[in-house]
């Protein structure tokens, strides 16, 4: 009799643990819906996330995050983070998602539940326009002192070059360092470079030259989060009905959008 009681107790314990595991796997979407907001971790990164004249967050990622939050029945709340601490911010639940032109590196995919890739990108070298002709190859820029966003894909590329660099808060700061002359060069996302440097931009004195890699953007959630699958389904629908393309075209980056199947 005691043996059967022990077996029954063991089965109850196993079933309880399985039930808890299932609940945990499904709880992230429910957690967000119960609190009524999706907290989106970002940095200032035009044209993906930046503020308009009223201080409201806009950009391709910001607009898409708002639409995704609406599909969940909640509001998007934007939280500026230290990019190097994005994983701990997720795990500590100070944010619910990292949605800021995030490159899908092996480290990112190992640390987060990631969406499908949705945008093509590259890391490019930014230099003063009057010096650009001297820096047209990867070898030619190795001697420069770079400013790069701490923990970014750009920093990884500079480290691969074995060049010297100073880590800074975000990519916008990296551009400022080059413009002010405190750094020789920066490495930023191609999409930011296209929007922010060159004639008619905030940094008309800068330009981009060497492309150091090719990469893709994704969105990151907590490990095991069911929100990643929910976002993939949202992406498919938004791509099919033209919403993603319309938003991308608004910010003049529609040619880099990846088809969602």
- Supply 17's token pair: 């643990």
The 3-state DSSP class for residue 118 equals: coil
The ranges of the chain annotated as CATH 3.40.190.10 are 27-120+217-256, 123-213
User: 211, 123 in Cβ contact below 8 A?
Assistant: yes
- Tokens 């953007």 belong to 217
Would you say residue 160 has pLDDT above 90? yes
Q: Which long-range contacts (CB under 8 A, 24 or more apart) does 4-9 make?
A: none
CA dist., res. 168 & res. 185, Å (int): 13
User: 41, 81 in Cβ contact below 8 A?
Assistant: yes
Strand-pairing partners, residue 186, are: 126, 147
204 Cβ contact list (under 8 Å, min separation 6): 129, 197, 198
pLDDT number for residue 26: 61
3-12, 85-94, 102-111: least confidently modelled range: 3-12
Which CATH architecture fits 27-120+217-256?
3-Layer(aba) Sandwich (3.40)
Would you say residue 14 has pLDDT above 70? no
Superfamily of domain 123-213, CATH level 4: Periplasmic binding protein-like II (3.40.190.10)
- Supply 53's token pair: 């004249």
pLDDT number for residue 27: 82
Would you say residue 148 has pLDDT above 60? yes
pLDDT number for residue 224: 94
223 Cβ contact list (under 8 Å, min separation 6): 111, 112, 113
133 Cβ contact list (under 8 Å, min separation 6): none
């Amino acid at each position: 009799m005691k043996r059967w009681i022990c077996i029954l107790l063991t089965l109850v314990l196993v079933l309880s643990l399985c039930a808890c595991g299932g609940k945990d796997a499904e709880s992230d979407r429910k957690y967000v819906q119960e609190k009524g907001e999706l907290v989106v971790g970002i940095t200032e990164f035009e044209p993906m996330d930046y503020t308009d004249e009223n201080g409201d967050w806009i950009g391709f990622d910001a607009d898409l995050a708002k639409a995704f939050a609406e599909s969940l029945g909640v509001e998007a709340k934007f939280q500026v983070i230290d990019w190097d601490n994005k994983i701990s911010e997720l795990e500590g639940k100070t944010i619910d998602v990292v949605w800021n032109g995030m490159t899908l590196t092996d480290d990112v995919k190992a640390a987060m539940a990631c969406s499908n890739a949705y945008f093509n990108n590259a890391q490019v070298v930014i230099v003063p326009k009057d010096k650009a002709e001297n820096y047209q190859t990867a070898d030619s820029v190795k001697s420069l002192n770079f400013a790069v966003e701490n923990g970014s894909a750009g920093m990884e590329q500079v480290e691969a070059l074995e060049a010297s660099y100073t880590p800074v808060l975000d990519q916008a700061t990296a551009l400022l360092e080059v413009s002010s002359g405190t750094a020789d060069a920066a490495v930023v996302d191609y999409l930011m470079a296209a929007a922010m440097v060159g004639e008619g931009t905030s940094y008309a004195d800068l330009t981009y030259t060497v492309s150091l890699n090719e990469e893709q953007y994704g969105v990151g959630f907590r490990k095991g989060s069911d929100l990643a699958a929910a976002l993939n389904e949202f992406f498919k629908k938004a791509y099919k009905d033209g919403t993603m393309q319309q938003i991308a075209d608004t910010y003049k980056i529609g040619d880099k959008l990846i088809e969602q199947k």
